[in-house]
């Protein structure tokens, strides 16, 4: 995404800004759209521009569920996020919840979106800025906020929400620019998506038919968040999945070289004997072909790169 282009759009005249607060209930997203005073709209746009300028020089790399690299920002398509369209659909006028935003609802909100509409070449376009909700629960549970008027301190009776102009995710022209890795996962509930993707990857491994006690292996994979992320990443490395255990003699060799606590069933079709969860990461690394020996010094290593 061209971040300078986004910043330039924020300088355009006649911008329209809408604010959507969203909470998740079960598998549904419920959104509320309070109005914003024009002066506050201008202030928010200024804060966003100031924040985005910090990221202009950073390299942009593809999003990885396994982790992120320092001094980079990530991107992905909107199609990558299964729940994105559900969130945006909740912003439609006919779907908005008109219930007043009382304290109970405020405490359930998960994130907000600043939706910017502009006209370019007589076409209406949108940029969406997502941010996880900032609450002030710690202070409001043991103290309170207030303001000073006429040299008198007055208590704020309602729970507070913070909008600071910082941005976690930008969506423009069907692309997401991710300024905060964990926020993409939290806002769009990617943990559920990772489980679905992990199951698809596990099906590839099942088809290879090289792991005994596969049901336990599958259950352990799906109950380990780190492994679910790795399996999700492996779907972008589909050739590795399709060819996993293809050269099984090399698998046995790696087990011996790295002295892995894994036994082999040497029946007609040799298989890895999966016994317990302590073996899980070693088996996943075998599937991913993560073990290596350097050419020059024959140095042994493990590539767990993102």
For residue 138, what pLDDT is reported? 44
Inter-axis angle of helices 214-222 and 225-234, nearest 10: 100
Sheet with 175-178, strands from edge to edge, namely 28-32, 16-25, 111-120, 123-132, 169-172, 175-178, 72-77, 59-62
pLDDT average, residue stretch 298-302: 90
pLDDT average, residue stretch 144-155: 63
Q: Would the pLDDT of 166 be above 90?
A: no
What pTM was estimated for this model as a whole? 0.86
Confidence of residue 161 (pLDDT cuts 50, 70, 90): low
Burial 196-217 (b: 16+ CB within 10 A, else e): ebbeebbebbeebebbbebeeb
Strand partners, 29: 24
| Nearest CA among 139, 137, 187, 134 for reference residue 163 | 134
How many other β-carbons are positioned within 10 Å of the β-carbon of residue 125? 13
């Amino acid at each position: 995404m061209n971040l300078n282009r986004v910043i330039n759009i924020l300088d355009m005249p006649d911008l329209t800004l809408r604010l959507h607060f969203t909470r998740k209930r079960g598998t549904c997203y419920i959104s509320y759209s309070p109005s914003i005073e024009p002066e506050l709209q201008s202030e928010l746009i200024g804060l966003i521009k100031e924040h985005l300028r910090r990221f202009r020089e950073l390299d942009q790399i593809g999003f990885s569920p396994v982790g992120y690299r320092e001094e980079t920002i990530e991107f992905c398509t909107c199609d990558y996020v299964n729940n994105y369209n559900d969130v945006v659909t909740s912003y439609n006028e006919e779907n908005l919840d008109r219930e007043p935003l009382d304290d109970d609802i405020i405490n359930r909100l998960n994130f907000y979106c600043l939706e910017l509409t502009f006209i370019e070449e007589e076409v209406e376009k949108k940029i969406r800025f997502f941010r996880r909700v900032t609450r002030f629960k710690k202070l409001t549970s043991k103290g309170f906020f207030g303001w000073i008027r006429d040299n008198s301190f007055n208590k704020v009776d309602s729970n507070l929400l913070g909008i600071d102009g910082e941005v976690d995710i930008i969506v423009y022209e069907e692309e997401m620019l991710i300024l905060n890795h964990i926020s993409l996962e939290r806002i769009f509930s990617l943990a559920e998506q990772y489980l679905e993707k992990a199951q698809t990857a596990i099906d590839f491994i099942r088809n290879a038919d090289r792991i005994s006690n596969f049901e336990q292996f599958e259950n352990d994979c799906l109950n380990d968040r780190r492994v679910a992320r790795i399996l999700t990443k492996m779907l972008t490395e589909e050739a590795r999945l399709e060819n996993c255990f293809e050269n099984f003699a090399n698998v046995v060799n790696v087990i011996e070289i790295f002295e892995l606590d894994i036994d082999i069933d040497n029946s007609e079709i040799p298989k890895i004997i999966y016994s317990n969860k302590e073996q899980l990461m070693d088996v996943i690394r075998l599937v991913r072909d993560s073990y290596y020996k350097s050419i020059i010094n024959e140095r042994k290593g493990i590539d767990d790169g993102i």
